[in-house]
């Protein structure tokens, strides 16, 4: 419903939402959905991990832990050690009672089928991550030729293990705004043809071409979308001066790409689901002559997704995107817990602690329109 007049606040869950919501959403409206999961998260390591976990555990029940550490998580043994580190750094009190890190292996040219079997047998290694060598942060050890990974990929397909892909070529001659569509044509399409049973997630898609491909691809090929790619185009990064905290990979694109992503996310299609790609860096690493790629959204990711869905009158589609479709794709049970969002504004701090340093979150100093109601 559309309403240009001020309305009384609403308390809704998604079972009644489609017929009950009034837009614009009045202040004080509460929205209850199943506790979401984040299927792409950078926890980092060392002393900074606890700061990240304090944010993400407020709004997610599980999260896929990215393996691009220094050194990368390339073996079952390293995945176990990293999981132990994450569990040891959880907040003393968990808002939703529990939090489960879901582990990944960093795929290389030399990953063996034996290592895949060892990792899968652990039960908590849910995927392998394909980074094209040099495509993003800490990806130098990534894949140089997809065919070198085929023995490992065939073993993954046999075991039903997920392949998560950073879908951009790293070829220097390819324009940075064209690297995702090029990767789809050169790598993804042949890979899906060669291994039609492989469960694949194109992570953090950023173009209309990626949306169109995923919609046309087999049912086992799906995609995650970040909140910043739903909310922003490249003007946010470049207009009025370079804004390094909006610099991420894949880079923000033109407005028609953002609109295509938003249409896909809010369509109700199970092909698309939540993956924040929240990627923390220190202020010094971002605000430099050669700044790191990555937007930090762990402090307010769910609130940003709510804002994006509200912008097109599609809050009734948020629960499926955030809480159901990713879990279904990974073969995980949907969370039993609930989380409550409220249309209540708050101002994002300028800085958050990040180990021995600080980071600047996305939307620092700006007003958020939605809040999480603590249980």
**Signed CA dihedral, 121, 122, 127, 128: sign only:** negative
The values of phi and psi at residue 135, to 5°, are: -80, -25
Tell me if the bond preceding 297 is cis, omega within 30° of 0: no
Structural contact between residues 315 and 306, judged by C-beta atoms closer than 8 angstroms: yes
Asked if 277 is an active-site residue, the reply is yes
Distance CA 88, CA 180 (A): 36
CA pair distance 366, 349, nearest whole angstrom: 8
Neighbours of 342 (CB within 10 A): 18
Structure tokens at 321: 């995107």
Burial per residue of 42-80, b for 16 or more beta-carbon CB atoms within 10 angstroms, e otherwise: bbbeeebbbbbbbbbbbbbbbbbbbbbbeebbbbbebbb
Residue 229, C-beta contacts closer than 8 angstroms, at least 6 positions apart: 204, 205, 206, 250, 252, 253, 258, 261
Contacts of 77 (CB under 8 A, 6+ apart): none
Q: Choose, from 37, 38, 277, 316, the residue flagged as catalytic.
A: 277
Using alpha carbons, select from 242, 265, 96, 73 the residue that is nearest to residue 164: 73
What φ, ψ does residue 357 adopt, rounded to 5°?
A: -125, -160
Active site residues: 277
């Amino acid at each position: 419903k559309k309403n240009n007049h001020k309305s009384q606040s609403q308390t809704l869950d998604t079972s009644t939402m489609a017929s009950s919501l009034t837009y614009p959403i009045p202040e004080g409206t509460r929205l209850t959905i199943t506790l979401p999961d984040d299927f792409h998260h950078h926890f980092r390591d060392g002393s900074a991990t606890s700061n990240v976990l304090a944010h993400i555990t407020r709004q997610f029940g599980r999260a896929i832990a990215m393996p691009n550490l220094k050194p990368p998580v390339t073996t079952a043994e390293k995945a176990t050690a990293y999981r132990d580190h994450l569990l040891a750094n959880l907040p003393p009190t968990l808002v939703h009672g529990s939090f489960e890190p879901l582990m990944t292996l960093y795929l290389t040219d030399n990953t063996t089928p034996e290592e895949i079997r060892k990792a899968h047998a652990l039960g908590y290694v849910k995927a392998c991550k394909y980074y094209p060598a040099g495509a993003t942060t800490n990806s130098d050890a990534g894949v140089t030729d997809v065919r070198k990974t085929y023995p490992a990929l065939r073993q993954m397909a046999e075991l039903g293990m997920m392949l998560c892909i950073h879908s951009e070529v790293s070829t220097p001659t390819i324009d940075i705004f064209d690297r995702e569509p090029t990767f789809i044509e050169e790598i993804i399409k042949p890979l899906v043809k060669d291994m039609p049973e492989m469960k694949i997630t194109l992570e953090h898609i950023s173009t209309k071409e990626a949306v169109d491909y995923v919609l046309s691809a087999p049912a086992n090929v799906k995609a995650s979308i970040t909140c910043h790619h739903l909310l922003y185009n490249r003007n946010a990064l470049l207009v009025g001066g370079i804004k390094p905290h909006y610099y991420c990979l894949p880079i923000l694109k033109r407005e028609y790409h953002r609109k295509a992503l938003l249409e896909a996310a809010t369509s109700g299609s199970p092909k698309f689901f939540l993956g924040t790609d929240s990627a923390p860096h220190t202020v010094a690493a971002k605000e430099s002559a050669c700044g790191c790629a990555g937007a930090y959204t762990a402090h307010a990711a769910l609130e940003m997704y709510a804002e994006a869905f509200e912008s097109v009158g599609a809050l009734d589609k948020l629960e499926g995107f955030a809480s159901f479709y990713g879990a279904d794709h990974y073969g995980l049970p949907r969370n039993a817990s609930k989380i409550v969002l409220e249309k209540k504004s708050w101002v994002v701090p300028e800085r958050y602690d990040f180990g021995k340093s600080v980071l600047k979150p996305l939307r620092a100093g700006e007003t958020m329109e939605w809040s999480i109601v603590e249980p």
